[in-house]
Structure 1
């Protein structure tokens, strides 16, 4: 192991032994343990603190992990000397009374993070006596009492060799063995036999095993290096991938550092520098992470990202925060590790004849070239760097050919491409052939995702489209977006292809139906490609993205009309989400305003499909059936309007049609029963609900009236829409809506939508659409019964939601969510509806969010007609449709100002600490996707 700078400031072995010598003669073997343990704890802590100080002072992670290994070495060596030279001293030890201490695993490499386990092998001779067991036991108990975490094994040389042959994990761990102290001859014997019996002749099996192990680990970790809370150690492109390269190198070549593989021709000097740079960065982050959380944490979660960014010196810049810059550096480093892995595997395949990982189509085996590219094994390649120098467009065409024939690209070709990326210059970007090839790749009918991802990994994507290059590894520091912008975009394109192929028909029936009616496929694919391309810049990414689209589309070869459509889609790609999730879709004005903005059925089709794949690509648990239903409702109503329907027609005409349809559905009712029901409701009731819902409510009301019930609660779950419909029919009274929302929050359900009606005879008929916290239907029967009981108890005053929720909030403060702040915003709109004042409220999500707001509105003596709520990670957005006590829009300025002020006070309350912070509001519409 390399020498550590100023090592005696960390631990001075001579002083440690002198300190022990001062008191050992005054104690027996039994009584010496207490002062010895105190000395060890003090010495270790001083060394640990010194390494921590060096970390804070900016020392490189590689130096820090070596220093931690050195500290551990000296402590273990000292404990061994005490155990063998004082506690269990043998003046003339036999061959059976020998012991060797061996570091294995990461500790064996001399790369030990602050809170990592100490992987220790006690190597014993073939013949043993109780002495060895006593020494091992004494050492372990002493280290455990010091607070050290020791992963240990006690084995003979024979056992080590036997287990290495049958277990890949043990084989790998022992591959990194490093002598610490004790009987050196035992260690030398082990090494000799390990090289001869375990390594020799077994190189291909080890390579295949480690790469298969890596692939399985990647699969478990999500198979993407672009998740926004990555695992530094086991994630794709992380430390474990670098270590895998080292293990394979050591197994095959017997090297003691990766620098030695440069001499073997595996890496160039520049590639080795990349390896070292990645290792330094990862170990530096890992050391800071361990010190920050005080335990062996490997996941870079939201709650530590900002602090890590600050400690590592990443400052805020215009359009990009320090934490986003830090995480972008992380993702780019992980990407480089992926490149190095491909280069390394390519070399192994050439030199050690590994089996091809992909089978070659039968037609390819008979050809030496395919479309001008040489075939090497199972993959196409590039003849030489001269091919690229003569025609840089070949760096685009090779991906097109690979996609066309469903082939892989040889890592050697990818290596050549990476080394010549600068040749993709302005001339290549404007080359008609290159742009045609790219558009063919993008719109490939069998699915463009894998090739686009390969182009991105190789650096070609971002080089050919510099605007895309700006969002490569660009994270968004929130809990809503799961992937970086480039990964989100590629996933959206993959999903678009799946919708087109019909594989998502069950989840997205409307998109599956209308995508084949789209006039221009390439407009849709280019719009999905560009919809987030301006993320991370200063300003509205939709507006800035429109400018990028107008610049790029002509370059791709799109017509003026196609360019206009793509630019419009990029500009308004959040429009459908905003309207569907925040507005009353039964309000004719909502539909008319949206349809007038869209203007054509073709744009409506394009926007629907773009919206679906955009939401779905945000993360694996973002989409649900309820969102799908809202989008379908908006689409069908808007399509009817655009095709000449009378959405804005006479209210009375629509009411008459609705009542007539309801009468047909209730054909078994007598005329008097039907008239009694219809006479209960005001006009707004008939305009707000669909026919199926009206039928259910009618049956509920009649049954309750016949039984004389004062409180009726029903639930109905819709598996496809992943939503549960909760209906409450009870005498109306002030604050009813707030109390019900409180009871729902207490029950652990999440409200997505609500419709509130008061009958002419003083009854309230309220419907809530609720879900579990994971956005699935609230369909557990036990939970539903508990919910109903909580509503009854709340209305009777047995449960006070405010008190219950306050306790729950204080008990459920998550470190991950605590780091986020959402600027409170209240937006008042008197133009969105003809009959209601629409108020949109943005704030930090928390338990009982809707309850707090509705209780405040109750105190302000306004009437809630409907409420809609959506969450985007840590952000919650609630939209209320309000009237005053006289049933009119709220237009008085003083009243509106009062509503805004009170809602802002609620939003600014820090429930976890009891503090109230007043913040200035920014009245810009906040983007949620």
Structure 2
């Protein structure tokens, strides 16, 4: 910034009252923000901010300590010492004292530090003697790290030189010990972010591939040599010129984002929250047809950048490991084939020209790793060679039959498939070999449902499929394990997994476009006609099973029959079931629960039975009703319930009841209702474990207005997620409500106190008979960024028993209760509800009739109900 000038707002030559210095800091912050928005390189702004704070602190120090500072030094440490100060970065200071005697300037030091707080700098500071510094540094690697890039701002420079000599590698923290400590620290940090850079709201500084990864490289190399900055990594041979440029560009991009976060929030904010992503995308000049596309384009660049940093971090740390901890001359290379050798259990190209002379070795290297389980990975120099020769994977390479054979061999190996596909993706080989896959690398969807980028999600699907094959993971899903043993060619499932989302963002239906990509892949890789048809079908229909299970009434035999007609045969059903489970669990693991697993297994079992029965045999409702009654009656007789008691309960229910509940559920309901006297109504019971993988709440009461609205309001207020609701009106004016619920954590409610709380609160509210209580539970912070316009659609029931209403809206506390109020206002009777939440988007299905149990066929009635729902649940 140059010398302070008295006619400028940051002039430091005048007296320094608190108000004046506060104003100067505010002016500097505002000026930097304005220059940032005008396009000044952020590295320049960071240097200017650092220089400004340097001058301010030195001036304040000299004014307060002046002649008393002979045995004291003011030292910048941490990020400030490194000279990377953003508008609201922490200002980390060390006040260094001479060991010889206590300083005579304790009051002056207190005045100095109090002044910094008064003017709003809020420094993080420590006060230590030289000996204490050395002692702390020896005991704690974070302290030695903070001191590595320290700078003297004012006071005795000789004191700092003494500290430097005491903390040198020959006295403590050798480069090898320091390296191992920082690697352990990075593993802990990565685990905090689930070992992936692909978080929906990433931390620009601390997350994998963030600025901390770049800093860690500098710390390790600085501890090992006298390198002062990233540029020295080239001179010392750690980085190539191209890698240095990539690292600097990444650092500049991440600095820009972090600087913008500081400017937008007015504080030290490192999290790229949804609150800021849209605004940052606009600020950085991203454009698109929709606002979501703008954000997705910005975030794709972010994810690609941090992936590159993560890759360079891995490369440099492995180089350091090989050069310092495990010198190559200590190991004798073991030949693997003409192109590769093993050194210290890592694969290495025998010479730099291997990939140029034999491009197919770019695939062969991963197959070798799969076949040799003793090999831990690829040596850093060979990783660098792979990256430098990616351009050799062109159309001629992709169409080479030998390249196709190698890729299919990787997919057909008995183990290591996920590891090698991930490694291929990390080094850029997978994107080069499958250009369509390259287009979804780093691509995210701006919503709360898809928590990974498309490429990360795809590789998780493959991983999940692989786990189905392994005995050690059998307990996670026994049926998937059993079915996987029946799959003749697992590689077809892996291909379908690689292709199922490969057309995301390409325009049009990604399932249809992906089917064409899959067909071309199969043709190029000489996959047989029958197998190709299966892969194409799986890609085209990879969503149909989850949509059927979560949005349709699985108690309806016609729904099952229609789904069976789609899948056609048992082999296709087996493949689709495995792909569906793997896909859902790889989309958002926190949203997977036992309920979804039970629904899919129920659909699988029912469809298998229908396929065995024959697609030409129409559904037999009478047969299903009779079977349900027989099984339930057998259970009730075992419980000791008399036949006349069973008849008394059942004669009030129509045939629909026996279609929609499992025999075990019917037996539970019947036992409870038979024992309940009218004066004890409402009857409220809860089973924490049902056959459908959730808790079931049973409510039996006189049929009246607000029953559904009241019940759902209470369940919502108690923090329970309603997954499914069934309402049966009896012939004598009673109603049976059955809710399948889970806690928001995805687990069933448990503990006597919790169960009593749920039942007690429901009974209390329902006994009052008044309007539903208001739901005061707050919506999640992220919801406001993903509001969904309220839409209502009507569909016809093939059996003409109900009208099927589809509601799409923003998921929010009290939504179902408001739906119930709209139904009551318009005289609508609810029979069944399928509740599905996808991130912030509620996609609920309701099976309804009018008060006379007739479907809503009149368009005027439908329009009135649609408007009522929009009025009750729409955004206001």
TM range, smaller chain: over 0.9
Q: Distance in 2 between matches of 1:148 and 1:648?
A: 77
Where in structure 2 are there 5+ consecutive unaligned residues? none
Deviations 1:696-723 (A, max 9, x none): 0110111114x75221110001288652
Which position in structure 1 is the counterpart of 2:295? Answer: 323
User: Match of 1:562?
Assistant: 531
Report the Cα distance in structure 1 between the residues aligned to 2:3 and 2:755, rounded to whole angstroms: 66
Once the 2 structures are TM-superposed, how far is the Cα of residue 775 of structure 1 from its aligned partner?
A: 1.9
| Partner in structure 2 of residue 440 of structure 1 | 409
Q: SS where residue 234 of structure 1 aligns?
A: coil
Q: 1:48 maps to which residue?
A: 29
Larger mean CA deviation between 159-168 and 275-284 belongs to 159-168
Bigger shift: residues 588-597 or 238-247: 588-597
SS in 1 for 2:125: strand
Match of 2:202 in 1: 230
Matching residue of 1:888: 854
Specify the alignment match of 1:63 in structure 2: 44
Residue 718 of structure 2 is matched in structure 1 by 747
- Which residue in 1 is equivalent to 2:175? 203
Q: Which residue of 1 aligns with 2:260?
A: 288
Partner Cα separation in structure 2 for residue 18 and residue 653 of structure 1: 96
In structure 2, the residue corresponding to 1:322 is in which secondary structure?
helix
Summarize the alignment of residues 506-585 of structure 1 with structure 2, pairs less than 5 Å apart: 506-585=475-554
Contact 2:683 2:763 in 1 (8 A): no
Where 2:676 maps in the other structure, the secondary structure is: helix
Aligned to 1:686: 658
Q: Secondary structure at the match of 1:666?
A: helix
Cα offsets for 1:172-231 (capped at 9, x unmatched): 1101111211222222333344347547x8221122222222122112221111222211
- CA 1:194–1:519: 2 relative to 1, 3 Å: closer
Tell me, in whole angstroms, the C-alpha distance in 1 between the residues paired with 2:191 and 2:533. Answer: 41
The residue that corresponds to 1:400 in the other structure is: 367
Determine if the alignment matches structure 1 residue 194 to structure 2 residue 167. yes
Task: Quote the Cα distance in structure 1 between the aligned partners of 2:593 and 2:104.
Answer: 65
Identify if the C-alpha distance between structure 1 residues 453 and 65 changes in structure 2 by more than 3 Å, giving closer, same or farther: same
1:666 pairs with one of 626, 636, 640: 636
Q: Which secondary structure state, in structure 2, belongs to the residue aligned with residue 718 of structure 1?
A: coil
Tell me the residue number matched to 1:917: none
Match of 1:106 among 63, 68, 79: 79
Between the aligned partners of 2:574 and 2:346, the Cα distance in structure 1 is 39
Partners of 1:474 and 1:637 lie apart in 2 by 37
Offset at 1:562?
Answer: 1.2
Measure, in 1, the Cα distance between the counterparts of 2:206 and 2:691: 36
What is the deviation of 1:132?
3.1
Instruction: Report SS of the residue matched to 1:726.
Output: strand
Question: 1:319/1:596 Cα in 2 relative to 1: closer, same or farther (>3 Å)?
Answer: farther
CA distance in structure 1 between the partners assigned to 2:92 and 2:7 by the alignment: 21
In the alignment, does 2:730 pair up with 1:734?
no
Count of equivalent residues: 870
1:719 and 1:108 mapped to 2: Cα distance? 60
Out of 816, 819, 839, the residue aligned to residue 853 of structure 1 is 819
Counterpart residue number, 1:491: 460
Superposed CA deviations along residues 115-163 of structure 1, whole A, max 9, x for unmatched, are 2211101111122345232222111111112222211111222222232
Question: Matches of residues 688-767 of structure 1 in structure 2 within 5 Å?
Answer: 688-705=660-677, 708-718=679-689, 722-767=693-738
Question: RMSD of aligned C-alpha atoms?
Answer: 2.4
Q: Which residue of 2 aligns with 1:30?
A: none
Show the counterpart of 1:390.
357
Give 3-state SS (helix, strand or coil) of 1:38's partner: helix
Task: Pick the aligned partner of 2:54 from 69, 73, 81.
Answer: 73
Q: 327-336 vs 452-461, which deviates more? A: 327-336
Is contact 2:448–2:838 with CA below 8 Å preserved after alignment? yes
Displacement of 1:618: 1.5
Structure 1 residue 256 displacement after superposition? 1.7
2:803 touches 2:849 (CA, 8 Å); kept in 1?
yes
Deviation (angstroms), 1:845: 0.7
Q: CA deviation at 1:248?
A: 1.4
Residue 155 of structure 1: SS of its match in structure 2? strand
Task: Name the counterpart of 2:64.
Answer: 83
Which of 599, 604, 611 is 1:635 aligned to? Answer: 604
Aligned residue among 155, 160, 165 for 2:138? 165
Give the secondary structure class of the aligned counterpart of 2:270: coil
CA distance in 2, matches of 1:175, 1:420: 37
Structure 1 range deviating more: 325-334 or 385-394 = 385-394
Q: Comparing 481-490 with 790-799, which one deviates more in the overlay?
A: 790-799
Aligned structure 1 segments of 4 or more residues deviating by more than 6 angstroms: 5-13
Checking the alignment, whether the CA contact within 8 Å between 1:232 and 1:300 is kept in structure 2 is: yes
The 1:514/1:143 distance shift into structure 2, 3 A limit, reads: same
Determine helix, strand or coil for the equivalent of 1:17. Answer: coil
Query: 1:316 aligns to what SS in structure 2?
Result: coil
1:375 to 342, 345, 355: 342
711-720 or 387-396, larger mean C-alpha shift: 711-720
Q: Classify 1:319/1:380 alpha carbon distance in 2 versus 1 (closer, same or farther; 3 Å).
A: farther
The TM-score, its normalising length taken from structure 1, stands at: 0.90
- 2:235 is aligned to 263
From 619, 626, 629, the equivalent of 1:656 is 626
CA–CA separation in structure 2 for the residues paired with 1:500 and 1:9: 75
Tell me by how many angstroms 1:522 deviates. Answer: 1.9
Paired residue secondary structure (2:485): helix
Q: How far apart are the structure 2 equivalents of 1:223 and 1:316?
A: 31
455, 473, 485: which one pairs with 2:442?
473
Shift in Å, 1:8:
6.2
Deviation of 1:97 (Å):
4.5
Q: In 1, distance between residues paired with 2:45 and 2:769?
A: 59
Runs of at least 5 residues in structure 1 that lack an aligned partner in the other structure: 21-35, 911-929
Q: Which residue of 2 aligns with 1:124?
A: 97
Q: For the structure 1 residues 741 and 814, does the alpha-carbon distance in structure 2 shift closer, same or farther, using more than 3 Å as the test?
A: closer
Cα distance between partner residues in 1 of 2:489 and 2:290: 37
Shift of 1:547: 1.6
Contact 1:573 1:607 in 2 (8 A): yes
